[in-house]
Homo-oligomer: A and B are copies of this chain.
């Protein structure tokens, strides 16, 4: 796959050695135009299914943390049971389908800009995130 050269470059540029584990995880996370949301458990299952040689859980955690640190992933707070990650690192919002335990992107353009009429001294806004919880009708 010629794509992998991009991942190698991406990793090198980030100061991360392009190991075969990281490259495989890059393929899974960034190999498609579509972004998606996942838990470590989700990713672990995808790897197990798409990869002949296994990648240890520790490496999956390490890699996700590394990518998070480099800004290649975003962490989404949905509930306190587990961490969710997003390959879409642009500013956007989410539906959370409670019944399916699934996140759905809401593009910034689909939400009227959120205006906060209040400021906290000594603090600056790092992010504004809207979470819309959905239930079956």
Contact = CB atoms under 8 A, between A and B. Distances in A.
Given A127-B132, A128-B133, 12 more contacts: A77-B80, A78-B80, A80-B82, A97-B123, A111-B114, A111-B115, A114-B114, A123-B134, A123-B136, A125-B133, A127-B133, A128-B130
Oligomeric state, in copies: 2
A88 B86 CA distance: 30
A118 B134 contact: no
Interface residues of A, number: 40
12 contacts: A77-B79, A77-B131, A80-B84, A95-B120, A97-B123, A110-B117, A111-B116, A111-B117, A112-B112, A112-B113, A126-B133, A130-B131
Secondary structure dominating the interface of A: strand
A125 to B, nearest CB: 6
A122 interface: yes
Contacts of A95: 120, 123
